[in-house]
Chain A
Amino acid sequence: MIGFYTLLYKETLRFWKVSVQTVLAPIVTALLYLLIFSHVLAKHVEIYSGVSYIAFLVPGLVMMSMLQNAFANSSSSLIQSKITGNIVFVLLPPLSYLEFFSAYLIASIMRGLVVGAGVFIGTLAFTATRDVSHPLWILLFAVLGTGTLGALGVIAGIWAEKFDQLAAFQNFIIMPLTFLSGVFYSIHSLPAFWILVSRFNPFFYMIDGFRYGFFGASDVAPDVSLLVVSACFVALSILSLILLQRGYKLRH
């Protein structure tokens, strides 16, 4: 287990040493979103009864930041290591593929949670009122959501051979799915077709379930969201483990 703890420590230390880029920058970005959208839309939109638009926006922004940073952590670490060649230092030791995966996954979850906590604390400057109806649901969706994106980051990091391939993954998969997941709106405000499309977006369930933890209200039943997010997490974790076991693009 020392090997696993060491890899986890190394992955955590890696993002913490450049925390201006990996933690502070995404917090500032999320707060800028909040600043702009809250000023533009605050007076026009009320999604849940008695919940201001700013308050509605906060859980979505927190979750969006967590998801994006959980993905960035594992994927960027792996692609950097592959391109610079230092991946060899984790391939030579007697680490099992399960230890390898778990270390990258947990480091991603940790970065996601640190960024999420930072964004949440930052939003206190915009709105003092804070509903926290079901804190355990918040924690559960935070861990499962970041875990799912951490596992997806492992897959993307293993698959990508160049930075632009990873950027394409981020720009054409992660970003659209995040923005079309109900961070800034309720899907009930969309036309019927886009509601249907949203129901095929797993990010929607992550954000909707997470938001349920704050307000006790959501677009779909939280049990359904939990089931979908858990299934995604398990499926992506199994796929990551299969790739690592086979040495796909790592052991030639």
Chain B
Amino acid sequence: MTIPAIKFQHLHKHFSGVQALQDISLTVEQGEFFALLGSNGAGKTTLISILAGLVRADSGSAEVMGHDVVGDYRAARQLLGVVPQELAYDPFFTVRETLRIQSGYFGLRHNDNWIDEVLFNLGLTDKADANMRELSGGMKRRVLVAQALVHKPPVIVLDEPTAGVDVELRQSLWMFVRQLNAQGHTIMLTTHYLEEAEALCERVAMLKQGQIVALDRTANLLKNGGELRLQISIRPDNLPLELISRVVHQSGNTYTLTMKTPAELEPMLAQLRLAGVEIENMALSEPDLEDVFVQIMGRS
């Protein structure tokens, strides 16, 4: 049995009267691409900060590749790369100096070959000698990602790495992170872009008010958790009363209705025919992770 990449056991944490985490137990296996989802204040960043040693838990334990983040912090931190959510940078240094210094903190000298590769993959090669102050927000975020990767950590945690960045960076970042995951790096991701989590992550944990309310494979969550969506444009704009309770969205004469199984489709169409309503346009779609997320957060 292999050692888990990340292991939380019965973690509790409170901040001045607010319970930030309540009895969190969670394991991420080596090589997994894992998503940690939740609304703002759900406890995602607190959980990551405990793993990174930035926050100390009230009770419980956290491990990186079998190393306790408090008792064996040097080994744990050596194996972990964290992209923090806050856009922080040191204004005294260039991009290359920043990455060389960060390499040195992890005990690496002469790391320029890997630094060049990271710069290339993140589209930063032409900014290597620019001072950090001169970079745009998106470029600074790329440097944050690069800083987390300078020591080639087997476990990489990305705390909302694409918040406020352009499509180009997202695509190049995800391509690079997928490549790292394919090479065996474990990735834990938090994001508010649920389509990214759905496309990238094999497993998902959802947090609400410091507790895990869902933990499963992404495919299982999509299969079990969501409802089908039927989008119809009708004429005349006169939806039968029996279907009103199914409406989740309306724009003019276009309605989005929910149904649990495809078998419910024919009775719904029959009700429309019975009401003398003609369908101008129709589309049926599978639930996505956002639908599942909204549903789980709503009921828990």
A residues lining the B interface (CB < 8 Å): 2-3, 5-7, 9-10, 13-14, 17-18, 81, 84-86, 88-96, 247, 251-252
Contacts and interface: CB of A to CB of B under 8 A. Distances in A.
Contacts of B91: 84
Q: Which applies to chain A's interface (DSSP): helix, strand, loop or mixed? A: helix
Contacts of A3: 104-107
A85 B88 contact: yes
B55 interface: yes
Interface string B66-78: 0000000111111
A251 B56 contact: yes
Contact of B75 (A88, A89, A90, A94): A94
A3 B102 CA distance: 9
B102 A18 contact: no
Contact of B104 (A2, A96, A247, A251): A2
A103 to B, nearest CB: 10
B78 A86 contact: no
Contacts of B49: 252
A84 B54 contact: no
Given A92-B52, A251-B54, 17 more contacts: A2-B109, A3-B107, A9-B101, A9-B104, A10-B93, A81-B90, A84-B88, A84-B90, A84-B91, A85-B87, A86-B89, A88-B88, A92-B54, A92-B80, A93-B102, A93-B105, A94-B78
A92 B107 contact: no
10 contacts: A6-B101, A7-B105, A9-B101, A84-B88, A88-B88, A91-B53, A92-B54, A93-B77, A94-B77, A252-B15
Contact of B74 (A9, A86, A94): A94
A250 to B, nearest CB: 8
B105 A91 contact: no
Interface in B97-139: 97, 101-109
Among B54, B77, B86, B108, max chain A CB count under 10 A is at B54
Contacts of A84: 88-91
B191 interface: no
A14 B56 CA distance: 30
A89 B105 contact: yes
A251 B78 CA distance: 18
Contacts of B80: 92
A251 B107 CA distance: 22
A101 to B, nearest CB: 15
A13 to B, nearest CB: 7
A86 B104 contact: no
Given A14-B92, A94-B77, A251-B55, A88 B84 contact: yes
Contacts of B84: 85, 88
A251 B53 contact: yes
Contacts of B73: 94
B40 to A, nearest CB: 18
Given A94-B74, A252-B54, A89 B106 contact: no
A232 B147 CA distance: 38
B6 interface: no
A86 B105 CA distance: 14
A84 B73 CA distance: 25
B82 interface: yes
B32 to A, nearest CB: 21
Nearest to B82: A92
Contact of B54 (A14, A17, A81, A88): A88
B90 to A, nearest CB: 5
A252 B90 CA distance: 22
B74 to A, nearest CB: 4
The 5 A-B residue pairs with the shortest CB-CB distance, nearest first, are A6-B104, A85-B88, A93-B105, A94-B74, A94-B77
A1 to B, nearest CB: 8
A93 B105 CA distance: 6
A90 to B, nearest CB: 7
Nearest to A252: B55
Contact of A89 (B15, B56, B74, B90): B90
A181 B76 CA distance: 47
Given A251-B56, A252-B55, A92 B77 contact: yes
Contacts of B82: 92
A10 B98 CA distance: 9
Contacts of B53: 91-92, 251
Contacts of B92: 13-14, 17-18
Nearest to B97: A13
